[in-house]
Structure 1
Amino acid sequence: MIDIEGWSPAPHETTETIDAAPAAALAGLLDTDPPGPELPPLWQWLHFLDRPPQRDLGPDGHPLAGRHLPPIPDRRRMFAGGRLIVREPLRIGDTVTRRAELVSTAVKEGRTGELLFVTVRHTFLRDGTKIAVEEQDLVYRCGDQVGRPARPSFKTPETDAPWTLRMTADPVLLFRFSALTYNAHRIHYDETYATQVEGHPGLVVHGPLLAILCLELPRREGHKVTELSFRSRRPVYADQPFAVTGSPDGELAVVAPGGVTAMTATFS
């Protein structure tokens, strides 16, 4: 039974000067040109990174403890979605403060047992002025293996959406994104761990990477996104062809093989 009674972490602030190198590295990963002085929405995920000592990591690659990591046994973490409102973009060269705070927690019953839903809010301040607010929804469960992994499909998804970006995330791309975001979660690079411990049929494509790819569609069409909401629905696995789809009306999606919707998003 998940019990987090008394867990109420205090808000925490981190200040960083935004440099150009991470954005240039992500642009290379996405086979696109580096952005101008303004960071595209969600590219703030390359900054304000936690860099714990190796001795503080658990068997899954995540820190054993952290300010916004719930104190539950055998913790397994999944990225569920989030929201972002941009008043003013983060700019390269800016000194920005990120204030992180716990917004809500809820225990719900899932297919594999109890799940803990946690929402964390990040408020970005420049010279004391709020310029952006992001909320991340994270899901935690207790325990190890969750059943025998099913064989993933590799059938190319069909789409007739006005905007389409076709992708296949191989292990090299997943490794590079893990390195850029300092994410040591083993489901993204250790196939034995991903399949035999956490019950996936292969390496898992990062939820944040899928969200960034969704926003690549309006960005490459010249739209300036000021508000975004996205939700992860199904995992996408390494070497699976998938399609990122969208339209000018603000609807975005990640479509996995078999026409399975892996992520939905809206923007304005």
Structure 2
Amino acid sequence: MQIDLEHLKGWIGREGRSDEMLTSALVARFNATFDRSSATDEGAEAPVFIHLCLGQPTVPTAELGSDGHPARGGFLPPVPLPRRMWAGGMVEFHGPIRIGDCVTRRSVIEDVTSKQGRSGALCFVTVRHHVESGGRPALTERQDIVYREAQPSLPPPAVGASHAPASAHQRQVAAGAPFLFRYSALTFNGHRIHYDAPYARDEEHYPGPVIHGPLQATMLCQYASDLRGTAPRIFRFRSVAPIFSPGPFTLNAAPDGDMLKLWTAQPGGPLSMEATAQW
């Protein structure tokens, strides 16, 4: 498929803004989804990565595409490739998000690029989010979005692909349908590959619902925070291969100097998401 890259580059510099108050109720639902606990009093520090649940686009249902994503051509450029995935990014934490604060997110399209991959044409959109809590800088996030062509089946594994490596620390996670549905609801994410098993199998040719990239990133950052006793200052992550529900997957960590290397994988499978945490 031909991509008019110069036209899409016209979206570079486009900005969007959202504001939402972080409530105790949202924190309680976030903690319940991840089987965690934290203070829910007003003024308390919010859990790491809860910013992904705030200020999401509220597109009317009638304006969603067949895949459950908002129709294109608004804030994000109208990339003609039909499949959209979260490829990775980086979060730099500046200060806490606090319960009861108004959380503001200013988003900027930074770049649009394209290339030819093993599965066909690919288009990458880079978005930078600047998040404030109560008017104070909380974090800066780079988000990498990838668009690709529809495929009749999953592409073959990359040359040299192998099982994920052994880890110094490991935690197993159950990845059933209620978990994925709850996370989709928390993030107001209508993408059907995460909760609609027939759609994931029959339309996008996956073996089952895809475990969200943001969910994996959230859990890896939580795991890094648990291992070191405090949230990292910089967290980088990249999706390498999808993993699917039902079935468990693992969170893995290994020391790397002052940092932690982290990754997710399904038992006996290849590495799915890789990350580094730096304090």
Q: What is the TM-score of this pair, normalised by structure 1?
A: 0.89
1:206 and 2:221 aligned: no
The aligned runs of 1:1-268 (5 Å cut-off) are: 1-7=2-8, 8-9=10-11, 10-35=14-39, 37-73=44-80, 75-126=82-133, 128-142=135-149, 144=150, 146-148=151-153, 161-221=167-227, 222-248=229-255, 249-268=259-278
Measured after TM superposition, the shift of residue 158 of structure 1 is 8.7
Verify the 8 A CA contact 1:84 1:135 in the aligned structure 2: yes
Measured after TM superposition, the shift of residue 240 of structure 1 is 2.6
Measured after TM superposition, the shift of residue 141 of structure 1 is 1.9
User: 1:140 and 1:33, CA in 2 relative to 1: closer, same or farther beyond 3 A?
Assistant: same
Measured after TM superposition, the shift of residue 5 of structure 1 is 2.6
Quote the residue 1:154 is aligned against: none
CA distance in 2, matches of 1:238, 1:78: 17
Measured after TM superposition, the shift of residue 122 of structure 1 is 0.3
Measured on the aligned residues, the alpha-carbon RMSD in Å equals 2.1
CA distance in 2, matches of 1:175, 1:109: 33
CA distance in 2, matches of 1:69, 1:167: 33
CA deviation digits over 1:107-127, x for unaligned, max 9? 010112110011100001346
User: 1:214 and 1:201, CA in 2 relative to 1: closer, same or farther beyond 3 A?
Assistant: same
Unaligned 5+ segments in structure 1 are 151-156
Identical-residue share of aligned pairs (%) = 37
CA distance in 1, matches of 2:116, 2:81: 17
User: 1:56 and 1:83, CA in 2 relative to 1: closer, same or farther beyond 3 A?
Assistant: same
CA distance in 1, matches of 2:62, 2:90: 33
Q: Give secondary structure in 2 for the equivalent of 1:72.
A: coil
Given residue 123 of structure 1, which amino acid in structure 2 is its aligned partner? H
CA distance in 2, matches of 1:207, 1:158: 17
Measured after TM superposition, the shift of residue 51 of structure 1 is 1.4
User: 1:90 and 1:202, CA in 2 relative to 1: closer, same or farther beyond 3 A?
Assistant: same
CA distance in 2, matches of 1:31, 1:126: 25
Verify the 8 A CA contact 2:201 2:207 in the aligned structure 1: yes
CA distance in 2, matches of 1:182, 1:64: 15
CA deviation digits over 1:64-110, x for unaligned, max 9? 12533321335210111010001111111112321100011110101
Unaligned 5+ segments in structure 2 are 156-162
